[in-house]
Structure 1
Amino acid sequence: MTLNGLKWSLLSMDPPAVEVLHYKDGEQSSTLLQQLNKLREQNILTDVILRAGNKEIPCHRNVLVSSSPYFRAMFCNNFLETQQTRVDMKGVGPVILTSIVDYVYTGLVSINLDNVLRLMQAASMLQYGRLFEACSYFLQAQLRPDNCLSMIRLSDMMNCDSLREKAKEMAMKSFTDVSSSEDLCELSLQELMGYLDDDSLCAEEEQVFETLVAWIHHDPVSRKGTISNLFKKVRLRHLHPTYLFQFIANDPLIQSSTLCTEIIESVRRLMFSIDARSFRDLVVDFKPLWAAPRRRSYNDALVVVGGRRNNEQTSREALVFDEKTQKWQRLAKLPVRLYKASYVALHSILYVLGGLTTNTRRSHVSRTVYTLSLKTNQWRTAEPMLEPRFAHQSVSYLHFLFVLGGLGSDRQLTPSVERYNGMFNQWESVSPIPEAVLHPAVAATNQRIYMFGGQDATQNPARLIQVYHIGRNMWSKMENRTVKNVSAPAVVLDEKIYIVGGYTRRVNAYDVEANKFIICANLKERRMHHAASSLNGKLYVTGGRHINGHDVIEDTDTLECFDPKTDTWTCKGSLPYKLYDHGSLTLTCVGNNWKKSP
């Protein structure tokens, strides 16, 4: 049968299932390239020679033109190279030119530390974009804190955005390590200020100050005059007060600058004054420095510590909640077992105060103070309280800690109050509570400490609010029938004080300015001996004891969250174990330092 006959036979058949077959040979392009490379190696049909030094490489113009805009411009326009059979490749060495031609014909190239810079430079000149990015990817894999600043300079020289982005990201995330490198001292003033001014810089403000001082000392003659501009990049509000006034204020560089000393003095007046309204007295130019937000690398972490675990014994455990993974991680254990200690945070340090020791033959009431920082994940002892006590309350305000009431060494209810000054590391007695109570809800805001309810000496609920004016060292009290809580936490959120449960399901928000209570969504069950803390604008409640439907008291391991904007409760999982009479507070850390700690 002839070809025409076959075609007529096909057309006379029923319509085919597939009218058109679009065939693509996946091996055609690679096979073609392999054949072209063999022709090049045998010098068959080559029509141009690329020359670098004494090295001559025969090539096909059409292959070069197809592979690069550089060669397309060279051979497809009225340039001299169009007529030449030999083209000198100035600026490219023979080894690198060989590698690039091999890459053009095979798609393969070996990148290593010896050739990456020359290969990257040639790829940029000859406009091989994918090869250029491959070199960038290789350099990104070599990034370390001690070379990332050099890589940034290299990326600027090479105009490589992808390398610059990754190197800058490492410099920001590992700034504590980067700050000790010699490369940092070689930065220009503009470059250094760019780092210190960046919200995403992963460093504590103390580290920021030490970095700028080290940078100035690297070349003090020409850089000393920059201290004022650099100091404005330190976010003073987020410095530890002791560091600010004992180290920074006494630094010779600070003292040599009139503007810096004025800034320090303004902050000193603000922080040493109990009255937060002193902010109005700040010089206008200094207000933005004080109001600067904390850096994005700072994270708030929910920490749970101590208490009674599984209704068996006092716990030495300390846990931190990772919001991203919704999981609990263990921190270093408390040095001793403490029953009804108090727990409070001051300047991102966790304080455990007093309590009744339970891991000795004879329990005793303690006045010891233990501290924990997420930065070190190690427990230390601090200046002890003036009096031993347990079942007491503690609260922080500005740079002070206040310890209120509880049971003393004689196991009797005490109205005494003492205050710890975090800047001077000193304790002092202040005015006692008008009416001593056990297990009240306590919170501090607006220059005052508010004590709601509790239990009096006859174990009856105290329906009153007791208020301590911090600046005047005076107490006042007022009866309020709404108050009826025992063993309930209080948390300040959105300028309101939230009182959560306390042998009740009720949740009330106390508006300090209006002196009135706002009724919020109830808890699911009557709860007491639990703990609460604010985290990222929400209220988290951990553990405690609850009264079930059969009026039986049970321990719980729940983690619940209250959103004041929607007035709703949601479950966020559970603690690793049932827990009550524990501490729950929010600590701030840079990144996740606690994960790296022993």
Structure 2
Amino acid sequence: MDEESVDELLFKDCDFSSDLLKQLNGLRQNKILTDVSLCASAWEVPCHRNVLASSSLYFRAMFCNNFRESGEAKVHLKGIDAAALEQIVLYVYTGEVRITAERVLPLMEAASMLQYPKLFEACSSYLQSQLTPSNCLGLLRLSDILSCETLKKKAREVALKYFPEVASSADLKELCVLELTDYLGDDELCGEEEKVFEALMVWVKHDVETRKRHMQELLKQVRLQYVHPAFFYHFIASDTLLQTSPACQAILETAKRQMFSFYNTSVPDLKPLCHIPPRNSYQDFLILLGGRKDNQQTTRDVLLYNEQTGQWQDLAKLPTRLYKASAVTLHRSVYVIGGKAVRAGKSLVSPNVYIFSLKLNQWRLGEPMLVARYSHRSTAHKNFIFSIGGLGDKQEGMGSMERYDSICNVWENMASMPVGVLHPAVAVKDQRLYLFGGEDIMQNPVRLIQVYHISRNTWFKMETRMIKNVCAPAVVLGEWIVIVGGYTRRILAYDPQSNKFVKCADMKDRRMHHGAAVIGKKLYVTGGRRLTVDCSIEDSDSFDCYDPETDTWTSLGQLPHKLFDHACLTLQCIPHIANFP
């Protein structure tokens, strides 16, 4: 019968296996019934063939087939450390082994050779727990030698995540060119491209005569389009060793022309750089700074929104309270420009520029503008910041524009706009700077599109009935420039190629003095002021997202507080190396 009888008892001795091992180990220690000795160097230990064959496929093949060792009294195991073999035998007879930093490598090698996979993985787990930026490259190489995929995966993760520290280790200099190329070209590498360049040059200069022939191949791993232009200009393009390689010079010349030229880079004699996205370790963050908080005085607060976690956190505060300053992002830094500086109840129109590093979570003072201004607009293009219009220290309207060169660290006057306006929507697309609408000094809406040709330093204007925005931001979303509200719920998408507008889904409220920025392919709109149905004005803490693919709006909840006249920017950074509080 298949079923147990009711009067039967199945007895299981849970301690039987462990007791049996203890007895076998006692027999081994007393050399009772042992029939083979394992030898490594001058060390040997008596064992039982049947126990060894039962514990390992390696010994089963050795003792259960017609190999010479199957009948020998002593088996010499070459290439195995004696202490490691002793640990292996102890493991076979007790199921236990003590893994330490001094013993783990020879023990792992022995476990690999003698085919004890669980012990091998235990050694791998131990090494994974000991991984640091200083030893991960060495253990990565060891994992290749031992064919240990779990250790290889973990060691590579550490090497990529802590790249700045790993790049400073001595092990980096010992990599072969294939290993270094594979490492520096990995999308998951958590490091800025400037550091990638420095790492490859340290490797080359460790043995210049042998390694300089690999410079071209390695230079291709540096994503030059994401290098800070000042670093490129002063350190990469002028490097004497790279200048000895015509192939490297050709790569740098192409990059230089595309990074620094205002002109269209699709000319026939200029081969474009392959479009390579930034490494996966980079992440876009939403930054809100300054503005009026909870309808009180101008705030110094700086907030960061992490789209992946949906959380807000405070960053280092602005150095001073600034009313109606402008702000842009350039080269992974935030530039806060001009504004009215509020100190001890007094306000002074400021020409100052404050620069924020998300990596350091610190502010520093930059090169001041030529003219103090507030209620102006600023935008960035390539290596330049354009600061446009606004009000001067005598409350006069200004039609002037100045440009900051981030490479030379200087401001210079550029051509003035045709019509001086306050609070226009501003964006740059296809080598042109667009000003949409705004208001004149008497606060009348201006129905104009003013276009600045960047390379020619010239303006022209176009009248249009479609434009009637004031205190509205504009963003570039794909091939469109999107004008977001401005005393209206209306969202307009402008196509510079056809000079046509397309109406998008309306916002819920009529908004102005709000912020807008793009992350990925979506538009985020923050705070501002809204007009109610009875035409009163309320401050807002709303936080909304627009998806152009579905032409729909989604509420993301509320900001930490009500906020308007603030800057809303997208800033790219590597979270792991940023000094977040």
| TM-aligned CA distance change 1:417 to 1:156, over 3 Å | same
Alignment partner, residue 491 of structure 2: 507
Say what the alpha-carbon RMSD is for the aligned residues. 2.5
Q: 1:382 aligns with which of 360, 366, 372?
A: 366
Superposed, 1:264-413 pairs within 5 Å as 264-275=252-263, 277-284=264-271, 287-289=272-274, 291-413=275-397
Matching of residue 587 in structure 1 with residue 574 in structure 2: no
CA contact (8 A) 1:270 1:279 kept: no
What amino acid does structure 2 have at the position aligned with 1:210? E
Matched residue SS, 1:314: coil
Alignment partner, residue 569 of structure 1: 553
Query: For 1:30 and 1:187, how far apart are their aligned partners in 2?
Result: 46
Query: For 2:559 and 2:51, how far apart are their aligned partners in 1?
Result: 66
Alignment partner, residue 64 of structure 1: 52
Superposed, 1:490-505 pairs within 5 Å as 490-505=474-489
| TM-aligned CA distance change 1:437 to 1:93, over 3 Å | closer
Once the 2 structures are TM-superposed, how far is the Cα of residue 47 of structure 1 from its aligned partner?
A: 4.3
Could you tell which deviates more after superposition, 327-336 or 193-202?
A: 193-202
Matching of residue 96 in structure 1 with residue 84 in structure 2: yes
Once the 2 structures are TM-superposed, how far is the Cα of residue 293 of structure 1 from its aligned partner?
A: 2.5
Once the 2 structures are TM-superposed, how far is the Cα of residue 222 of structure 1 from its aligned partner?
A: 2.1
Alignment partner, residue 242 of structure 1: 230
Matching of residue 131 in structure 1 with residue 140 in structure 2: no
CA contact (8 A) 2:485 2:510 kept: yes
Q: 1:533 aligns with which of 503, 513, 517?
A: 517
CA contact (8 A) 1:266 1:282 kept: no
| TM-aligned CA distance change 1:515 to 1:98, over 3 Å | same
Matched residue SS, 2:152: helix
Deviations 1:535-588 (A, max 9, x none): 111111111122334543222222211111111111223322221111111112
Could you tell which deviates more after superposition, 266-275 or 369-378?
A: 266-275
Matching of residue 253 in structure 1 with residue 253 in structure 2: no
| TM-aligned CA distance change 1:403 to 1:283, over 3 Å | closer
Alignment partner, residue 148 of structure 1: 136
Q: 1:178 aligns with which of 166, 170, 176?
A: 166
Once the 2 structures are TM-superposed, how far is the Cα of residue 515 of structure 1 from its aligned partner?
A: 1.2
Deviations 1:513-545 (A, max 9, x none): 121111111111111111011111111111112
CA contact (8 A) 1:336 1:357 kept: yes
Could you tell which deviates more after superposition, 32-41 or 417-426?
A: 32-41
Query: For 1:94 and 1:422, how far apart are their aligned partners in 2?
Result: 64
Once the 2 structures are TM-superposed, how far is the Cα of residue 511 of structure 1 from its aligned partner?
A: 1.3
What amino acid does structure 1 have at the position aligned with 2:481? I
Query: For 1:403 and 1:17, how far apart are their aligned partners in 2?
Result: 93
Query: For 1:19 and 1:458, how far apart are their aligned partners in 2?
Result: 104
Q: Structure 2: state its 5+ residue gaps.
A: none
What amino acid does structure 1 have at the position aligned with 2:50? N
Alignment partner, residue 146 of structure 2: 158
CA contact (8 A) 2:254 2:273 kept: no
Matching of residue 121 in structure 1 with residue 109 in structure 2: yes
Matched residue SS, 1:184: helix
Once the 2 structures are TM-superposed, how far is the Cα of residue 396 of structure 1 from its aligned partner?
A: 0.9
Alignment partner, residue 527 of structure 2: 543
Deviations 1:46-82 (A, max 9, x none): 4444344565544333332221101111121112333
Once the 2 structures are TM-superposed, how far is the Cα of residue 102 of structure 1 from its aligned partner?
A: 2.1
CA contact (8 A) 1:227 1:253 kept: no
Query: For 1:360 and 1:135, how far apart are their aligned partners in 2?
Result: 65
Superposed, 1:416-455 pairs within 5 Å as 416-455=400-439
CA contact (8 A) 2:489 2:511 kept: yes
Larger CA Rg, structure 1 vs 2: 1
CA contact (8 A) 1:375 1:593 kept: yes
Query: For 1:54 and 1:194, how far apart are their aligned partners in 2?
Result: 43
Alignment partner, residue 12 of structure 1: none
Query: For 1:216 and 1:55, how far apart are their aligned partners in 2?
Result: 45
Query: For 2:502 and 2:334, how far apart are their aligned partners in 1?
Result: 31
Matched residue SS, 1:409: coil
Once the 2 structures are TM-superposed, how far is the Cα of residue 597 of structure 1 from its aligned partner?
A: 5.2
| TM-aligned CA distance change 1:102 to 1:16, over 3 Å | closer
Query: For 1:62 and 1:199, how far apart are their aligned partners in 2?
Result: 51
Matched residue SS, 1:280: coil
Give TM-score, length-normalised by structure 1.
Answer: 0.91
Matching of residue 558 in structure 1 with residue 539 in structure 2: no
What amino acid does structure 1 have at the position aligned with 2:255? V
Could you tell which deviates more after superposition, 60-69 or 349-358?
A: 60-69
Matched residue SS, 2:132: coil
What amino acid does structure 1 have at the position aligned with 2:340? L
Deviations 1:406-456 (A, max 9, x none): 111111221111111222222122222222222111111111111112122
Give TM-score, length-normalised by structure 2.
Answer: 0.94
| TM-aligned CA distance change 1:41 to 1:235, over 3 Å | same
Q: Structure 1: state its 5+ residue gaps.
A: 1-6, 8-14
Once the 2 structures are TM-superposed, how far is the Cα of residue 106 of structure 1 from its aligned partner?
A: 2.2
Once the 2 structures are TM-superposed, how far is the Cα of residue 334 of structure 1 from its aligned partner?
A: 0.9
Matching of residue 517 in structure 1 with residue 501 in structure 2: yes
What amino acid does structure 2 have at the position aligned with 1:314? T
CA contact (8 A) 1:394 1:404 kept: yes
CA contact (8 A) 2:190 2:576 kept: no
CA contact (8 A) 1:305 1:316 kept: yes
| TM-aligned CA distance change 1:549 to 1:102, over 3 Å | farther
CA contact (8 A) 1:408 1:414 kept: yes
Alignment partner, residue 189 of structure 2: 201
Query: For 2:16 and 2:9, how far apart are their aligned partners in 1?
Result: 17
Once the 2 structures are TM-superposed, how far is the Cα of residue 267 of structure 1 from its aligned partner?
A: 3.0
